Amino acid sequence: MQDLIPALQLSAPEGTLAVGGLVLLMLGAFMGEKSARLVSILSVALLVAATAVTVTGPLGQAFNGAYVADPLAVYGKAIIFLSSAVCIVLGGGWMQRAKIARFEYPILIVLASAGMGMMASSGDLISMYVGIELHSLALYVLAAFHRDDLKASEAGLKYFVLGALSSGLLLYGASLVYGFTGSMNFQEIAAYAAQNPSVGLVFGLVFVICGLAFKISAAPFHMWTPDVYEGAPTPVVALFATAPKMAAMVLVARVLIDGFAGSHDQWAQVLVLISLISFAVGAFGGLAQKNIQRLLAYSSIANIGYALLGITAGTEAGLQAMLMFMTLYVVDQLGFFAILLSLSKGGKPVRTIADLAGLRRTRPVTAIALTVLSLSVLGMPPLSGFWGKYYVFGAAVDAGYWMVATAGLVASVVAAFYYLRIIKLMWFDPPVDEVPFDAAPVEARTIAVAGAAFAFPLVIIGLTWIEPLSRVAATSFNAG
């Protein structure tokens, strides 16, 4: 009991979400569908409370090293929980307009956040897998949340089937790692691998990387991403594009830098290959897209390739660059999806790029916000997206991967085409029809403007906070 109480204190963020999620589930079950708004408000409050518990809680290890509460976990979970809360806020009004508002939506996000928090604090292979499956099971349901929509059902089924395949790869790789090292703990695995390198261990590591690459939608394990982004409800896609990717990238850093620090030369080659393929697939695959959400899917694939460059470097500067890139990327994506959620015609959401033509005539503020965010995501200086790529490319060059960084820069130039096309349609093309845009929901409009304002000029102020906090997370993690 004396060991259990400190362990529960360390894992209080996940415990808060798990217990709170179950309480909200009981509340929704007793009150019925009329409780959807109340449950959403309480879910947002619960995620904010979990963030406060994370930031103010103690640091250390629990459950024999299976759970790690360190500055890296604190940084990652703060971004995960807050972005999940924003997705609940964005989804409430959209779900009501689509007539699919149910109290289960915010509860599933809360439970997924508990799993994502577990991923960020994983200290061994078992806790890693438990966290991945806990968040994945909730996301499978969310992808098919619009049950009467054929594409949503297809998206949920594809995500589930391919997710099961990736889990199999991950488990097989984990079993090989355990078989060769005799341990599940990342630090013990690192110590054994440094003294007893073997081909079998590297083989297991490759399978683990493949399983994790699916979770972050890195090519060539991206096959689920375009279909799920297109078919799932837009607020769910906003969640997919933000919190789970942050959790998965922190987990990848833990597995590779913490568990296989002595095998950097081996896993760095795999990450370089994944990054290069992600650059190509994301940049060129997006050129032919007409659906906005499919376009964002390919954009996310390319951006994950950029983030992986930071981990590939295997240095403190590289890990810090990854954290900064993902933080700025999450804010940009939340603003981008807030704009999509604020746009509809005749009660139907805007889905195609052509529907944005002439947006500046009727919604000039939205057009300005979308322009700023588009330029930010493609990396135009001095917007926030530029700073994320600046740090990542700089860390890669310093670590000797200048050719990969050059390839990433070329991919950014190619990807600029489809973002510039959006800007051109909004500002210079006439509308495709005379149907006016519906009135924008207040919450979506507010978050969209806030996201664009952060992209510039508030990012200059934000960097004074993000840069030192990410440095502390990266330095203390490597030191530990």
* Residue from 182, 200, 206 nearest 192 by CA: 182
pLDDT tens-digit readout, 326-370: 999 999 999 999 999 888 877 778 888 888 888 888 888 989 999
Does 230 score more than 70 pLDDT? Answer: yes
Residues 6+ apart with CB under 8 A from 439: none
Return d(Cα 201, Cα 178) in angstroms, integer. 9
The mean of the pLDDT values for the chain is 89
Q: Which residue has the higher pLDDT, 21 or 199?
A: 21
The 10s digit of each residue's pLDDT in 288-341 is 888 898 999 999 999 999 999 999 988 899 999 999 999 999 999 999 999 998
CA distance 273 to 297: 20
Question: What's the half-sphere exposure (Cβ side, CA atoms, 13 Å) at 402?
Answer: 3
- pLDDT above 90: percentage of residues in the chain: 51
Report yes or no: 44 and 88 within 8 Å, Cβ to Cβ.
Answer: yes
**pLDDT score of 435 more than 90:** no
Burial zone of 145 (CB within 10 Å; 0-12 exposed, 13-18 middle, 19+ buried) = buried
Nearest Cα to 142, choosing from 84, 64, 68, 205? Answer: 84
Closest CA to 463 of 386, 360, 378: 386
pLDDT one-digit tens code per residue, 235-259 = 999 999 999 999 999 999 999 988 8
- What's the DSSP call for residue 437? B
